[in-house]
Structure 1
Amino acid sequence: MQRNEAGESTGTAPAVSVRLRLLAAALLAAHLLVVGWLTLRPLDVPWAAAANLTPLEGIRAAFAAGPLEGARRIGEGLALLAPLGVLLPLVSGRLAPSALSAWSSLVRTAAAGALVSASIVMFQTAVPGQVVDVDSMLLNTVGVVLAHVAVVPALRARLRRSHAAYQGATPKITRVGLGPWTDVLSAVPREY
């Protein structure tokens, strides 16, 4: 695939414009700052619960406290890093329409979300008042995947439609003949 002067691809796969990528990068930086402030600030609490290292144990405990508390806990976990599911593919500029790249985009985004969530959990071990919870890491990763699956295919379709509208006719490239030295080289007998 070739790129033109603006950095956009001229092949069949549409590229994300530079302005949109810069906007997504600014939104990603702002979102990560807010997430860092929410999850890594020291809390002044009289006591702290023990760390939860058993998967789904914290969710069970939240539902044991009531269905509203369980729904709040799941909603917070899913929503915290969900914007990464949309912002990361926009920042990378990879919104290609092929099925293989769609799966690889989902895997890359899920892995990045899991790494960000694991980093937050690791940093929380050194912050007073913050409790390490493996369920938050699982919910954050699922939130990233759900946001990616819900929004990115629609973005791809919209990008393809806008790309097709502005693309115009396919340029014709003239055929290039053989090089000038091919006649000379073909006259030389080959030795085997």
Structure 2
Amino acid sequence: MQRHRSGGHSAAFRFRTAGLALLAVHLLLVGWITLRPLDVPWVSAANLHPLAGIRADLALGWREGAKRIGEGLVLLAPLGVLLPLAGGRLHVSVWGSLVRTVAAGALISLGIELLQTGVPGQVVDIDSLLLNTVGVGLAHLAVTPALRAWLRRRSERLPLPVEESPQGRTPTITRVGIAP
């Protein structure tokens, strides 16, 4: 009797669909937060020196510095989970997945920073790019390997459904001898 994993395909399709929907919602929220025009009396210059903004944030005090650095880490961190979920693959290399996810997160962050150049009141900050990328990588390492392992265990425990034709089950011949 031949068994097909039709249930596994529908589960992968559901996870991929949910991942794409959540990814779209998250990116819309990030776009709304980061690309709104700000009504400010003055705008600081763009920060193109790596880690200069982080040093300036820490110079404000540990509490304020940690708050600003945390905001940079958290903004795109859900992409570390949503991008692999939208990919829908359970059997992939941890390091390959990490590299692909961090690269995609860095490109999305770069795209946001480039779009901010045309938005009044928004300033390009290289440290935002760095913090967003690190946040994506940390979220990916913290959640995705465990989530994939759980999903693999879950899919292995599910019984495999038997696909039947509209006419019913196909009879199987247990042993066929050689004709005389």
- Confirm or deny a common fold (TM above 0.5): yes
Please list every run of 5 or more consecutive structure 1 residues that lacks an aligned counterpart in the other structure.
Answer: 9-14, 169-192
Task: State yes or no: 1:143 paired with 2:135.
Answer: yes
Give the match for residue 150 of structure 2.
158
Q: Distance in 2 between matches of 1:16 and 1:64?
A: 49
Runs of 4+ in 1 over 3 A off after TM superposition: 3-7
Please give the alpha-carbon distance, in whole angstroms, between the structure 2 residues aligned to 1:165 and 1:6. 12
Is 1:94 the counterpart of 2:94 in the alignment?
A: no
Cα distance in 2 for residues equivalent to 1:68 and 1:50: 24
Instruction: Pick from 43, 64, 82 the counterpart of residue 69 of structure 1.
Output: 64
RMSD: 1.9
Letter in 2 for 1:30: V
- Separation (CA, whole Å) in 1 of partners of 2:44 and 2:60: 15
CA distance in 2, matches of 1:7, 1:125: 45
Write the deviation string for residues 104-147 of structure 1: whole angstroms up to 9, x where unpaired: 11110000000000000000111100011000000000000000
User: Structure 1 residue 85: deviation in Å?
Assistant: 0.3
Once the two structures are TM-superposed, the CA of residue 95 in structure 1 deviates from its matched residue by: 2.4
TM value normalised by structure 2: 0.82
Query: Unpaired segments of 5 or more residues in structure 2?
Result: 161-180
Q: How far did 1:61 drift?
A: 0.4
- 1:126-141, aligned counterparts within 5 Å? 126-141=118-133
> Does the 8 Å contact 2:80/2:139 carry over to 1?
yes
Deviations 1:80-113 (A, max 9, x none): 000000000010112215xxx2211111000000
**Fraction of identical pairs, as percent:** 65
One-letter identity of the residue aligned with 1:115:
L
Q: Is this contact kept in 2: 1:42–1:130, CA < 8 A?
A: yes
Q: Within 1, Cα distance between the matches of 2:8 and 2:151?
A: 16
Match of 1:60?
55
Q: Which residue of 2 is the match for residue 121 of structure 1?
A: 113
Shift of 1:17: 2.0
| Higher RCO (C-alpha under 8 Å, 6+ residues apart) | 2
TM-score, with structure 1 as normaliser: 0.77
What is the alpha-carbon distance in structure 2 between the residues aligned to residue 6 and residue 165 of structure 1? 12
CA deviation string 1:34-92 (max 9, x = no partner): 10011011000000011000000001001111111110111000000000000000101
